[in-house]
């Protein structure tokens, strides 16, 4: 993994372990279009070389958030067509993430809201700090989670707990 990413840090820790850090701490690691592109490229690269990596640990830069969800400032400036293209990009990225043959451990170090919660739910295992918080906050605005959160959350924690 020798590729540079604009919004990610990838560290090879040896013996097949990669540390993947969402690297936009100034905006609580909010996902913008570039982060979607970077995550898609990262998972496409891992998926194209099965057996090269043994484990990925995914975390967020800083101590404020794992990922606060979508970058709302970017979204406000988008046309409907641009937003639709971004949504398709994120769908492709989530499919590449879920299809990853390498176990992904989410090291959740703060807020995992909206799309950030959905990213966490894609991980095979979660390790949450005492400050970790999970929420599909978009539902309070009448917006459906776009990456399967309404299905993945009950599968991960059970239906009753998900309703909390």
Active centre residues (catalytic): 118, 138
Q: How far apart are CA 29 and CA 64, in angstroms?
A: 9
Distance (Å) of CA 30 to CA 65, 105, 144 = 9, 19, 18
- What residues contact residue 29 under an 8 Å CB cut-off, 6+ apart? 22, 23, 60, 61, 62, 65, 66, 67, 68, 116
Q: How far apart are CA 47 and CA 154, in angstroms?
A: 27
Three-state DSSP at 68 gives coil
Is-contact 24 52, C-beta < 8 A? Answer: no
């Amino acid at each position: 993994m020798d590729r540079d990413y604009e919004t990610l840090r990838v560290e090879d820790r040896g013996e097949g372990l990669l540390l993947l850090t969402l690297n936009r701490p100034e905006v609580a690691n909010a996902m913008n279009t570039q982060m979607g592109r970077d995550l898609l490229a990262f998972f496409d690269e891992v998926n194209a070389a099965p057996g090269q990596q043994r484990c990925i640990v995914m975390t967020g830069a800083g101590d404020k958030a794992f990922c606060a969800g979508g970058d709302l400032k970017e979204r406000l400036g988008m046309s409907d067509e641009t937003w639709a293209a971004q949504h398709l990009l994120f769908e492709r990225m989530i499919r590449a993430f879920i299809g990853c043959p390498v176990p992904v451990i989410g090291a959740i170090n703060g807020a995992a809201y909206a799309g950030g919660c959905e990213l966490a739910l894609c991980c095979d295992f979660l390790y949450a700090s005492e400050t970790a918080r999970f929420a599909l906050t978009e539902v309070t605005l009448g917006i459906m989670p776009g990456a399967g959160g309404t299905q993945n959350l009950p599968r991960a924690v059970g239906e009753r707990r998900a309703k909390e």
